[in-house]
Structure 1
Amino acid sequence: MRRVSKIAVACSVTAALAFTATACGDSSTEDTGSDKDQMKIGMAYDVGGRGDNSFNDSAARGLDKAKAEFDAETKELTAKSGETPADRETRLQSLAEGGFNPVIAVGFAYKGAVDKIAPKYPDVSFGLVDSVAEAKNVANIVFTEEQGSYLAGVAAALKSKDGQIGFIGGVDLPLIKKFAAGFQQGVVDTNPKAKVQIQYLSTGSDLSGFGSPDKGKAAAKGMLDKGVDVIFAAAGGSGAGSIEAVAGKPGAWSIGVDSDQAKDPALSKYAATILTSVVKNVDAGVYDLSKSVKDGKPLTGTQAYSLAKDGVSLTTTGDHLKDVQAKIDEAKQQIVDGTIKVKTTL
């Protein structure tokens, strides 16, 4: 399962187009030089952007696939911690004004900006990941995070030595609580005697919990010191800190999120202790929307990526789940057929 300096607010859209986004406090990756008929895809990342080893990187994989397949020009802008709603609006508007279509906003924090900007550009298709906007030209890309997290809970309960399990959430928001709820339910359904310690790194409108590996590491170390031996961190870039802390504790397991974190170059040295990752296939949503625009039939409304549709899943890198895979598969089938109803709130 994330902001730019106040200088960006003062940058008009015209200025944003005339100068680089970096000059207005935004980080930007741009592939230019296209002809006027070339597809142009704009991506507005959440905090951490490409290279966060998690949520944004999953979106980036979808963008890369679309770029290669459709020979598209792309532009990538990234939010900064502490930015204002106006900063997000400016970012989306600059992409729309620049002729990018679709314009994809990665993260629930963009909902207000999409609500305001999308209606002004009815001929542009917008994508919103992890939230729902009402404009007719928006595809809302959402996931059943709680279902993938339930399966992670099953795995954690079966792998934990004494049922002391931890969950670290980036921010105490409804989206992250879906991860926590599903995970806790999966743990307790599998081992009623197990206990899940839940901790959030920041609260409310403070979204720093998604981009602070030091906070993730400290929270994980605190849990490990109390006897927890499996920790699932749904905390964006902060999760890297948790994974590092777990790797330093013999016999402990970490569970990654959004991407297969055992395969990430920056985290691969910890792969031996990454039990699995709860993958949210944001890349599929990004690619599907891009393809629909390319085909002239833009997706709109809510596009739900569920466990049944492989929208969420558990990774098997390292074969750490081999001894418990049958029970995980059984739980998956029960969720798909409706026997198990997974909670979305604690």
Structure 2
Amino acid sequence: MGLTSVPREKPVTMREHIDRRTFVAGATGAALTGLTGCLGGSGGDSAEAHVGMVYSLGGLGDEAFNDMAHAGIQKAEEELGIAYDNTEPEGQSEFGTFQSQFASSSDPNYDLVTCIGFSQRTALQENADEYPDQNFMLVDAGLDADNVASYRFREHEGSFQVGHLAGLLSTREFSHEGSYSGTEKTFSSDPDTKTVGFVGGKENPLIKKFEAGFIAGVHHADADIDVRSAYAGSWNDPGRGQEIAGSMYDEGADIVYHAAGATGSGVFNAAGERGRLAIGVDSDQSLSSDASHTIVASMVKHVDTAVFNATKDVVNDEFKGGSTVSLGLEDGGVEAVIGADYEGEIPQEVLDALDSSREAIQNGDIDVPTEPEN
């Protein structure tokens, strides 16, 4: 299917709380010892391998990008017997600090340092040179270094799929009975408006790929649909996300797709207040959001798979340093997933159309752009 269904076991939301200031001040370079006790994580001393996790800004609990990475390392702990420790940088300057502290640690010795997010590339370029014997993993950017395995995603392909869905639903009468904030509501589209929206976090080339794919997918359904785009300037400002999406809904948008991290929860709240629809990102957000009845689908980006595979390679002594892996629709790196509350409600002709566009992307018959239309 173009949109897939996933097992509906609601995940436990975990946020490891770390006193980052104490950690930074209390540990330096090669003298760093006992690091496992300073960080949130599994910290199993008897494990065969140890992994240090440096998350992207916004931290755990974003119900999206970082939480997907966390799910991947939790799976590795369960299935591979590794131990891991988490760090959640509060600012750009902390990326290099945490990377180097993991790399210089001898108790434990970290077999892999995982760097989540393209923003870590600059710091990692320096640390990869400084610690040539340390294995690093970088998500969302490529780095040409023998000790770095890079994983990138074709987010524009998955975004095309959810854009296609948004366009198909926006041009027909579609409704769903559910609830928001304890009140029963109808969540619907209005074919008379033919308007949808996109809310990004910070404006950069990566998030432009989400926007570009979404717009292309919408216009694949109907070239006359108006797509409104705006950026919040933050990954962790739900209020701003709610304000932007609210304006879009008030101006006629049926559906708003976000690629904005924790800011996106505000998009769901705006949809809930107005009885409109939303599309989540990175994880199946219908499984974790209190506004799940607004989430008709999510563009799932399998950072969990990348983290698990890189860890498995290290455990099996098959670490792929110096390589860049690109993951898209064809290899399960990204996918569009129906919201838990919408299973069985999407019209079959819509699902069939999504099947066709997915196959066309995989076959190369549809070339999905990586930059938004002018």
Q: Identify whether the pair has TM-score above 0.5, normalized to the shorter chain.
A: yes
- The offset of 1:48, in angstroms, is 2.2
Is 2:36–2:85's contact at 8 Å kept on the other side of the alignment? Answer: no
Looking at CA atoms only, which structure, 1 or 2, has the larger radius of gyration? 2
Match of 1:68 in 2: 78
Provide structure 1 residue ranges, at least 5 long, that are not aligned to the other structure: 23-27, 203-208
Match of 2:361 in 1: 335
Cα distance between partner residues in 1 of 2:204 and 2:22: 24
Partner amino acid for 1:231?
V
Q: Which has the higher contact order (CA 8 A, sep 6+)?
A: 2
Is 2:161–2:358's contact at 8 Å kept on the other side of the alignment? Answer: yes
Match of 2:162 in 1: 152
Is 2:49–2:315's contact at 8 Å kept on the other side of the alignment? Answer: yes
Residue 109 of structure 1 aligns to a residue in which SS? helix
Corresponding position: 1:47 with 2:54 = no
Residue 318 of structure 2 aligns to a residue in which SS? coil
Is 1:96–1:124's contact at 8 Å kept on the other side of the alignment? Answer: yes
Corresponding position: 1:100 with 2:110 = yes
Partner amino acid for 2:315?
K
- Superimposed CA distance per residue, residues 243-264 of structure 1 (whole angstroms, 9 cap, x where no aligned partner): 11111112x1100000000011
- The offset of 1:237, in angstroms, is 0.8
Cα distance between partner residues in 2 of 1:310 and 1:259: 13
- The offset of 1:273, in angstroms, is 1.6
Residue 280 of structure 2 aligns to a residue in which SS? strand
Aligned length, in residue pairs: 324
1:192–1:271 distance in 2 versus 1, CA, 3 Å: same
Relative to the length of structure 1, the TM-score reads 0.88
Q: How does 1:42-191 map to 2 (within 5 A)?
A: 42-80=52-90, 82-84=91-93, 87-98=94-105, 99-160=109-170, 161=191, 162-191=193-222
Match of 2:294 in 1: 273
Relative to the length of structure 2, the TM-score reads 0.82
Match of 1:220 in 2: 245
Q: Identify the range of structure 1 (92-101 vs 12-21) with the bigger mean alpha-carbon deviation.
A: 12-21
Corresponding position: 1:302 with 2:324 = yes
Moved over 3 A (4+): 4-11, 14-22, 320-323
1:167–1:6 distance in 2 versus 1, CA, 3 Å: farther
Q: State the superposition RMSD in angstroms.
A: 2.0
Match of 1:31 in 2: 42
Match of 1:13 in 2: 29
Cα distance between partner residues in 1 of 2:25 and 2:104: 16
Corresponding position: 1:231 with 2:241 = no
1:16–1:226 distance in 2 versus 1, CA, 3 Å: farther
- The offset of 1:57, in angstroms, is 0.6
- The offset of 1:330, in angstroms, is 0.5
Cα distance between partner residues in 2 of 1:46 and 1:197: 27
Residue 63 of structure 2 aligns to a residue in which SS? coil
Cα distance between partner residues in 2 of 1:239 and 1:11: 35
- The offset of 1:114, in angstroms, is 1.2
Cα distance between partner residues in 1 of 2:37 and 2:316: 30
1:176–1:229 distance in 2 versus 1, CA, 3 Å: same
Is 2:199–2:260's contact at 8 Å kept on the other side of the alignment? Answer: yes
Cα distance between partner residues in 2 of 1:53 and 1:341: 30
